[in-house]
Chains A and B, each alone.
Chain A
Amino acid sequence: MTNSIPMPGKHIVIAKDALQTLFSTLQAANYTLVGPTVREEAIVYEEIGQMDDLPVGWTDEQGPGTYRLEEAGDGRYFNYVVGPHSWKKFLYPPKLTLFSAQQNGDGVEFTANKESPQYAFIGVRGCELAAIAIQDRIFLEGQVTDPHYKKRRERAFILAVNCTQPGETCFCVSMQTGPKVKNGFDLSLTELDESFLLEIGSELGGEMLADCDWRPAGSYELNQSRQLMLDAEMRMGRSLDTADLPEILLDNLDHPRWDEVAERCLSCMNCTLVCPTCFCSDVQDVSDLTGGKTERVRVWDSCFNPDFSHVHGGNLRPNIRARYRQWLTHKLASWEAQFGTLGCVGCGRCITWCPVGIDLTEEAAAIRGGQS
């Protein structure tokens, strides 16, 4: 074992408890660690302090409309499927004060939100990295850059995890986003039986390992990791045929399937709020009784919110059918024209966290199968 600084592109092996050394180094470098932890019968993403906060020995069982936390008792740290939260809650917070304004004599004094948290994301899956890349295109690469997203994104450290535990609602293989992470990380980790295999993705990633004992990965570890990825690919619970999907969906806007899904859909917004790429927001002015002080707050919104499509003269999407169709055709069709990719990464959250278990892969397949 050595503890010099490994170079980008290198594969190294650390003992499992050496992850704590990495955490301490990140904390010493002023990173706030956020990662998976067990709360409210689920594995959520929250601020964590040390390795023991990770969901060690926990896993989950998922299906359409159902999630159950389960004790695996295997001592593994990353043996779970993605849960109800996504990293967007840190990069693009659900409620963010953009600025406040205070009446000051004849004028108005504005105070901007200058928060600039520095997060280290622990355990980002391939599908989630792809989701972050999609939100990068939305918030950073369009005509207008979102300064709040930009600050958070540029300062974030990413410890990615190669996914060895896909779930019943996963289809990252169809979307070509996983289970192995490809790029966009500082470090990526594969959990082996006795150790962690790490790939160095950036110089910063290597530097954060300066205090860790590590050794170069051998063919044993690399083969084991490769095998785990192949196994994970074979265990996708779902698949989505994306060939010509945008054209098929947009050519079938009057398909009877939209009526059928509207019978089940609650228009409750869960799918959009758990989706790691959905990015719609509302901006609200919150004033005090006299109107002397006002805050402008940005909150997550959803195309399933009736108010979202309420304009002068009425509602553009007055019923659930219109709203579901808008969501699915945006996510799997018109997103491509807008941003160059589909808006779905195959993480399966919208299927698991839909209270009535509506499955977008099933809906898309039904429309493909019964084209008018």
Chain B
Amino acid sequence: MSPGHKPRLAVFKFASCDGCQLSLLDCEDELLAIAGAVEIAYFAEASRRMLEGPYDVTLVEGSVTTDEEIEKIKEARRESRFLVSIGACAISGGIQALRNWTDVNEYIHTVYATPKYIDTLAKSHPISDYVPVDFELRGCPISKSQLLELVTSLLIGRKPRVPEYSVCMECKWRGTVCVMVAQGIPCLGPATQAGCNALCPAYNRGCYGCFGPVETPNPLSLGEHFVELGQSRAEVSRAFRSFNGYLPAFREASEQFEDS
């Protein structure tokens, strides 16, 4: 960060549930330190004070689903030195990208009484479809500690330390017994990037893939193993097609199991 002034932080929201920006407000113990270290210039969820750009760091939550949002994200990019996508929606299109496999007009006519009022893109798009993104912080929602690590690293001027390894590492660090091996519970952990401290397996559930695929996953082998554990191929397809379903590795796997 440039010396002389407090870095200006902006938080923008697109199509999303607000959960990721809430993670920033959830940093209760550290919130005052953050507010002391940066100037929160634009954060509609937290403050009525909305200052214009330029911003040093812009956090973007949500996916792009309308023409208006395409213009809005381009404008945000022009005003931002670092632009960081936060959360599954901003990075993959989110759970709402389920519609990417369907005809959105059919949905509009089923759901809305007056479909003509609805103006939407055919697909739910990640931010990176429209503007260059400096960093992507995975998760549904993002991890509070990773967000702090990101802000800290930007303030200090070093690379953020965010894992590339799978959830299995966090299970083993915690000493959690593998739910798939010991109980036959299908778990996306081996294909999913860590970041949640292996939350679900610690509560006797398989991983849902909230942090998206690891750098070099093997979803086909994992999916075939789910079949051996008793899942139908349609169930395997649905397992990959959730919060991060439209990221290429999970998308291709979900399509492969759907068609076979």
Contacts and interface: CB of A to CB of B under 8 A. Distances in A.
Q: Is the A/B pair a real complex?
A: yes
Interface of A: 39-42, 44, 46, 65-69, 83-85, 89, 94-95, 263-270, 273-274, 284, 286-291, 299-300, 302, 304-307, 310, 318-320, 352-353, 355-356
Nearest to A322: B216
Given A306-B164, A355-B178, A320 B218 contact: yes
Given A306-B165, A306-B215, A300 B173 contact: yes
Given A270-B172, A356-B225, 4 more contacts: A94-B174, A289-B37, A289-B151, A356-B222
Contact of A268 (B168, B179, B204): B168
Contacts of A267: 166, 214, 216-218
Contacts of A284: 161
A84 B178 contact: yes
B190 A300 contact: no
Contact of A84 (B34, B152, B182, B189): B182
B169 A300 contact: yes
B175 A89 contact: yes
Contacts of A69: 182
B230 interface: no
A289 B169 contact: no
B176 A40 contact: yes
The secondary structure that dominates the B interface is helix
A306 B214 contact: yes
Contacts of A83: 177
A30 B214 CA distance: 44
Contact of A290 (B37, B163, B214): B37
Contacts of B155: 289-291
B216 A320 contact: yes
Contacts of A273: 168-169, 172
A300 B187 CA distance: 22
A42 B175 CA distance: 12
A319 B217 CA distance: 10
B221 interface: yes
Given A263-B221, A265-B221, A41 B183 contact: yes
Contacts of B189: 268
A290 B33 CA distance: 8
B166 A352 contact: no
B225 A355 contact: yes
Contact of A269 (B30, B166, B204, B216): B166
Contacts of B214: 267, 306
B191 interface: yes
A292 B161 CA distance: 18
A269 B169 contact: yes
Contact of A305 (B33, B169, B177, B179): B169
Given A267-B216, A273-B172, A356 B221 contact: yes
A305 B184 contact: no
Given A95-B173, A270-B172, A40 B182 contact: yes
A264 B151 CA distance: 38
Most B Cβ at <10 Å: residue of A41, A44, A85, A288: A41
A305 B164 contact: yes
Interface string B219-230: 001100100000
Contacts of B178: 67, 84, 270, 353, 355
Interface in B83-109: none
Nearest to B163: A307
A352 B181 contact: yes
A287 B225 contact: no
A95 B172 CA distance: 10
Nearest to A85: B175
B182 A268 contact: no
Contacts of A318: 216
A68 B204 CA distance: 15
Interface string B180-223: 11111001011100000000000010000000001111100110
